[in-house]
A = this chain, B = another copy of it.
Amino acid sequence: MKLRMGMIGGGPGAFIGAIHRTAAQMDGEIELVAGAFSSDPSKSKLMGEELGLKGERVYGSYKEMIEKENALPENERIHFVSIVTPNHLHFEPAKLALENGFDVVLDKPMTFDLKEAKELKTIVEKSGKYFCLTHTYSGYPMIKEARQQVKNGKLGKVRKVFVTYPQGWLNDFIEGSDQKQASWRTDPSKSGIAGCMGDIGTHAFNLAEYITGLEVEKLCADINIVVEGRKLDDDGAAFLKFNNGASGLLVASQVLAGEENNLTLKIYGEKGGLEWKHADPNTLLLKWPDKPAEILRAGTGYLSSFATHNSRTPSGHPEGFIEAFANHYRNFALCVKKRMENKKPKEEWLDFPGVDAGVRGMLFIEKIIESGKSNEKWISLKS
Contacts and interface: CB of A to CB of B under 8 A. Distances in A.
A312 interface: yes
A60 B142 CA distance: 40
A52 interface: yes
Interface string A279-318: 1110000111111111111011110000000001111111
Contact of A287 (B257, B287, B377): B257
Contact of A315 (B261, B272, B288): B261
A119 interface: no
Contacts of A319: 320-322
A1 interface: yes
Nearest to A258: B287
A319 B51 CA distance: 22
B261 A377 contact: no
Interface in A139-180: 155, 159-160, 162, 166-169, 171-172
A222 interface: yes
Contacts of A341: none
Nearest to A374: B377
Interface string A258-278: 111110001011111100001
A257 B235 contact: no
A18 B317 CA distance: 14
Interface residues of A, number: 86
- Identical subunits present: 4
A61 interface: no
A186 interface: no
A350 interface: no
Interface stretch (A21-29, A35-43, A357-365): A21-29
Nearest to A160: B256
Interface string A1-32: 11000000000000100110110011110000
Interface string A226-245: 10000000010101000000
A103 interface: no
Given A249-B251, A317-B321, A318-B279, A272 B292 contact: no
A65 interface: no
A334 to B, nearest CB: 14
Contacts of A28: 21-22, 25, 51-52
A135 to B, nearest CB: 15
B269 A257 contact: yes
A257 B288 contact: yes
A74 interface: no
Contacts of A261: 314-317
Nearest to A164: B162
Contacts of A258: 268, 272-273, 286-289, 293
Nearest to A268: B256
A255 interface: yes
A293 B313 CA distance: 19
Nearest to A240: B222
Contact of A313 (B21, B51, B166, B321): B321
Contact of A268 (B160, B162, B257, B281): B257
30 contacts: A22-B28, A28-B51, A155-B257, A159-B226, A160-B253, A160-B256, A166-B266, A169-B314, A171-B289, A220-B377, A222-B239, A249-B249, A249-B251, A257-B269, A257-B287, A258-B286, A258-B288, A259-B273, A260-B297, A261-B316, A262-B316, A290-B302, A291-B302, A292-B300, A293-B295, A312-B322, A319-B322, A320-B323, A322-B323, A375-B376
In the complex, the 5 A-B pairs of residues with the closest C-beta atoms, listed nearest first: A258-B287, A260-B316, A261-B316, A318-B320, A292-B294
